[in-house]
Amino acid sequence: MLQRLFIQNYAIIDELEVPFSKHMNSITGETGAGKSIIVGALGLILGQRADSAVLVNKEKKCVVEGWFDVKGKKAVRTFLEQEELDVQDEVNIRREIAVNGKSRAFINDTPVTLTQLNQLSSLLVDMHQQFDTREIGESDFQRQVIDALAGNATLLHDYHGVYTRWQQARREWEALRAQKEQFDKEADYNKFQYTELEDAAFSADELEEAELSLRTLSHAESIKAALSRIYFELEESETPIVQQLKSLQGQLGQVSGYHAELPALIERMQAAQVEIKDIADEVDRISSQVQHDPAKIEQLNERLSLGYKLQKKHGVSSTAELIAIKDQLEEKLQAVLQIDEAIETRAKETAALEKELRKLAAALSAARQQQTAPLEQKVNKLLAQVGMPNARLKVSITPVENPGAHGADAIEFLFDANKSNQFQPVGKVASGGELSRLMLCIKSLVAERIDLPTLIFDEIDTGISGEAAKQVGVIMKDLATSRQVICITHQPQIAGKADAHFFVYKQAQGDTVRTNIRQLSRDERITAIAQMLSGEKPTAAALENAREMVGG
């Protein structure tokens, strides 16, 4: 509940603090006194957009601060833990607007975003304003009302879990089918390409090695002639180089004893002779292997021609890349064979989840249907109580073909204001005042089943008086037995039901006018309510009537 509200430098409010009762609070005051300004300030800590125009003193920041008792509120504790905010039994929300117009928000003194502020405020306060009644015409709100009355929280939790898994399975199944369709379109071409590469049967580095072999074979005669000439000079000429080195080595050996460096030269000449002899033998061996082979040349040309054609086709430049493409095509062809099995598995999973989902949806529908007649009866009784005896609410629940996120029902609230039996969607035919009272009736019923946050009603009693206003006060008083209610009202019958009565008034301060608020004592309440009944100077009858409203 909202324990205290502090406002500083907001519109024509200089500074004020309001300590609220944990039950029913009424806020009254003359038109224009500033009641709506207080609601606007409260809206700031509930996440509404800030406007620097609200700063009265342009040299001082605006501050709105609220303290909420959240003991036992599991949803609030969970939110604070998830957002890594201080978890306490009291939550402090502060909103500041700097002189430059920039706004900042804090939860327990930790800076937060407006999104976080909105999320938390939805768990703390339900603000209902005179013209804020569009929600009642929205299907989500109508479904939430029915589910709250039916106690469907656990069933909905189970349904949402299955629905999420069903949606995921459907997406995966559809993706597999789309993939198979694409595979089928490409299958023949992939198979042709794979067969072409498979028949080519290239081995690793085959084309690169074939290029080298072809180059050798194409110049075989030139290579062989050069090798023959070299071998001849080294070993078979009249003065072979090998023999010349041997002879020169002998000559040098005859004088080697006469110079200290000659033995080293003789060793080097011996090594050179051995190396040249080895070169001659290697030249002879290579020469004997080099043969001009037209058949082999033709075979290599054919392999290279095929290889170059396939490389150009696939946009690659090596044997390894061609082999890699063949492997990829093989994987795609294997995937075509395997995807049918995957599709069948996912289809069975989807069907099983849908069966389970429809079973839960049927249970939800049954629970909802059971609530339609009781809800209609209770709301219509309350409508008569709040001055709308001819108004009727009708709940329409019809099945839909495909399950949605919240079941397989289309839920719509229909309304007839004049017993005409011409029921139309509530948002289209009910007036603003009718919607306000209808919303109050519905919320009073829902409040019995779920833990609604602090309820704030901003002048929803517009257009009613007398007994109807009294009954609105009775409903609010009943609501306030188990939760906090704050109502801004012009009706004495409603103000008289409050546990705490706050009076908003304008006060002259020098050349300026400021809005202020104070909690009324019992005698002050009687006087204020009597003035609401009969004017500035209340009559004795009005005072007596006010005394009865306050309670003796």
Question: pTM of the full predicted structure?
Answer: 0.64
Question: What pLDDT is attached to residue 429?
Answer: 73
Question: What pLDDT is attached to residue 131?
Answer: 41
First to last CA, the chain: 28
Question: What pLDDT is attached to residue 129?
Answer: 54
Output the six-digit token pair for 491: 């009706």
Q: 505-512, long-range: CB within 8 Å, 24+ apart, which pairs?
A: 505/29, 505/30, 505/33, 506/12, 506/32, 506/33, 506/34, 509/14, 512/12
Domains and CATH numbers, the chain: 1-130+459-520 (3.40.50.300), 177-338 (no CATH)
What string of pLDDT tens digits covers the 552 residues of the chain? 899 999 998 888 888 899 999 999 999 888 777 788 888 888 888 888 877 777 777 778 889 999 999 888 888 899 999 998 988 889 999 999 888 888 899 999 999 999 999 889 888 887 765 444 456 667 788 898 899 889 898 999 999 999 999 999 999 999 988 888 877 777 777 777 888 888 888 888 888 888 888 787 778 788 888 888 888 888 888 888 888 888 888 888 888 888 888 889 888 988 988 888 898 888 888 888 877 778 887 888 888 888 888 888 888 888 888 888 888 887 877 767 778 888 889 999 999 999 999 999 999 999 999 999 999 999 999 988 888 889 999 999 999 999 999 999 999 999 998 888 889 888 777 677 777 788 888 888 887 777 667 888 877 777 777 888 888 888 889 888 888 899 988 889 999 999 999 998 888 877 788 888 889 999 999 999 998 888 878 888 888 888 888 875
Can you tell me the distance from the alpha carbon of 131 to that of 212, in angstroms, rounded to the nearest whole number? 89
Output the six-digit token pair for 513: 């006018």
Please give the angle made by the CA atoms of 147, 149 and 151, to the nearest 5 degrees: 65
Question: What pLDDT is attached to residue 369?
Answer: 95
Can you tell me the distance from the alpha carbon of 14 to that of 28, in angstroms, rounded to the nearest whole number? 19
Can you tell me the distance from the alpha carbon of 417 to that of 49, in angstroms, rounded to the nearest whole number? 36
Cα–Cα distances in Å, from 166 out to 158, 172, 339, 349? 12, 10, 20, 8
Question: What pLDDT is attached to residue 60?
Answer: 86
